């Protein structure tokens, strides 16, 4: 029933309409986006964008801010990134200082910890994202390690706290996240000043932001202006209270559970999506069609993507597209010879290079974090 083959051979299946919230074009440097909230902005990328691009265009890249007082202009001459705390000598680096340092470039998926939260059952509070609170970009910048070395790490350092320029209301804590010192110095964690070859859109953290490859984007602090080297673990709100998941395999507890041991959310599990089919799609019997989508391995590369046309009983390998690096989206496709007329459920599953594999059963936790089950689409084959 399934055949691997060149994409050119196939007839396009009929697409069911994309349901969803209002579309907006009202945000600076952004094209058409799904509007989840105006202040602070929550803008979601429509599914069709992922079908068209391996690298999510900057003007279609999702946006998430916690506080409404976000930077709307930056004086690039006076801007400084301050490095303080347990360092040999505190420094303040200009943008010119940063762009003169050795450069690195990395393709990496930026995914909100709450991506797909609206699909949690039972429902949970928080931004009601579908699957578009993620994006893939080619990030250009400098290694966090190199930046820290400009100040020199002092003995006793255990963590690095990263703070953005968005201002909290009243007495609320500044948005700041921390990484363990070894993670911060692993040579992969970077500070980006460009995204897909362009300066960062204001809404995505201009002039510089953190890139923490393989980890959920809560750590990818935008509009970064302060690094503070800590000699104690960070016990401030955004580390110790927010973004906690159950300390269980997969971050799951029985729906409704409130008291359980928690850990800060960290690395992403693998995911895969259909991008050219949605529930209700109709295909013609006898006419082969290509189904395709994107996958990513989380904190490891994509090992394999498999497709099922019987709801997950049997699996067939998908053809993988260009490899942009282990933290990137990877395109997949399968040419399908439709089975006899009837209703079918297609399913797609990613296995990462470390052997982590998506499963059918969805997880649950009260924060609505880390959703990553096998995705399915219901299709009809018509005579």
Task: Catalog residues that contact Mo ion under the rule CB under 5 A.
Answer: 64, 112, 218
- Rounded to a whole number of angstroms, the minimum distance from the CB of residue 361 to Mo ion is 24
226: phi then psi, degrees, rounded to nearest 5: -140, 130
Using DSSP, state whether 278 is helix, strand or coil.
coil
Q: Which does 63 bind (CB under 5 to 8 A by kind): Mo ion, ligand MTE, none?
A: ligand MTE
- Of the ranges 47-55, 100-108, 215-223, 337-345, which one interacts with ligand MTE (CB under 6 A)? 215-223
Q: Which of 25, 67, 28, 29 is nearest to 46 (CA)?
A: 25
Q: Which of 324, 327, 334, 322 is nearest to 293 (CA)?
A: 334
Q: Of 111 and 376, which CB lies nearer to Mo ion in the complex structure? A: 111
Of 61 and 332, the one with the shorter C-beta distance to Mo ion is: 61
Question: In what side-by-side order are the strands of the sheet with 342-352?
Answer: 281-284, 375-382, 342-352, 302-308, 316-317
- Which lies closer to Mo ion via its Cβ, residue 104 or residue 127? 127
Residue from 56, 58, 116, 204 binding ligand MTE (CB under 6 A): 204
| 222 near ligand MTE, rule: CB under 6 A | yes
**Using the rule CB under 6 A, is 36 a contact of ligand MTE?**
no
Of 72, 53, 71, residue with least CA distance to 61: 53
Could you say which residues in the range 151-170 bind ligand MTE, by CB under 6 A?
164, 166
* Cα distances (Å, whole numbers) of residue 240 to 73, 235, 263: 31, 5, 9
Quick check: 372 binds ligand MTE (CB under 6 A)?
no
| Residue closest to ligand MTE when measured from CB atoms | 164
**DSSP string covering 29-90:** T--SEEEEETTTTEEE--HHHHHH-SS--GGGS-EE-SSSB------TTT--EEEEESBSS-
Q: Does 218 bind ligand MTE (CB under 6 A)?
A: yes
129 sits near ligand MTE (criterion: CB under 6 A)? no
Q: Name the residues that contact ligand MTE, by CB under 6 A.
A: 61-66, 110, 112, 164, 166, 175, 204-205, 217-218, 220-223
């Amino acid at each position: 029933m399934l055949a691997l083959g060149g994409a050119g051979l196939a007839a396009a299946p009929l697409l069911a309409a994309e349901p969803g919230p209002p579309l907006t074009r009202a945000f600076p440097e952004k094209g058409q986006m799904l509007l989840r909230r105006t202040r602070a902005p929550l803008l979601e990328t429509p599914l069709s964008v992922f079908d068209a691009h391996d690298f999510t265009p900057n003007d279609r890249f999702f946006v998430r801010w916690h506080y409404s007082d976000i930077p709307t202009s930056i004086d690039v001459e006076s801007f400084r990134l301050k490095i303080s705390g347990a360092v040999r000598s505190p420094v303040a680096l200009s943008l010119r200082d940063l762009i003169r340092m050795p450069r690195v470039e990395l393709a990496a998926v930026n995914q909100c910890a709450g991506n797909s939260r609206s699909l949690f059952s039972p429902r949970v509070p928080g931004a009601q994202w579908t699957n578009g609170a993620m994006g893939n970009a080619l990030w250009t910048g400098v290694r966090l390690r190199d930046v820290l070395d400009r100040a020199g790490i002092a003995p006793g350092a255990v963590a690095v706290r990263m703070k953005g320029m968005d201002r909290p209301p009243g007495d609320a804590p500044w948005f700041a996240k921390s990484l363990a010192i070894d993670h911060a110095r692993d040579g992969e964690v970077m500070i980006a000043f460009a995204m897909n070859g362009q300066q960062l859109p204001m809404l995505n953290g201009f002039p510089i932001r953190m890139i923490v490859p393989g980890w959920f984007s809560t750590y990818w602090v935008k509009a970064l202006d302060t690094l503070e080297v800590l000699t104690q673990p960070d016990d401030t709100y955004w580390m110790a209270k927010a973004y906690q998941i159950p300390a269980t395999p997969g971050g799951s507890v029985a729906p409704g559970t409130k008291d359980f041991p928690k850990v800060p959310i960290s690395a992403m599990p693998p995911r895969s999506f259909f991008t050219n089919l949605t529930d209700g799609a109709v295909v013609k019997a006898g006419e082969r069609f290509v189904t395709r989508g994107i996958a990513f391995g989380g904190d490891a590369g994509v090992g394999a993507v498999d497709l099922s046309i019987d709801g997950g009983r049997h699996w067939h390998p998908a053809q993988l597209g260009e490899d942009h690096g282990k933290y990137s989206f990877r395109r997949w496709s399968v040419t399908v010879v439709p089975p006899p007329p009837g209703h079918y459920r297609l399913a797609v599953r990613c296995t990462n290079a470390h052997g982590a594999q998506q499963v059918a059963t969805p997880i649950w936790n009260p924060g609505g974090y880390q959703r990553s089950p096998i995705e399915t689409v219901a299709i009809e084959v018509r005579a």
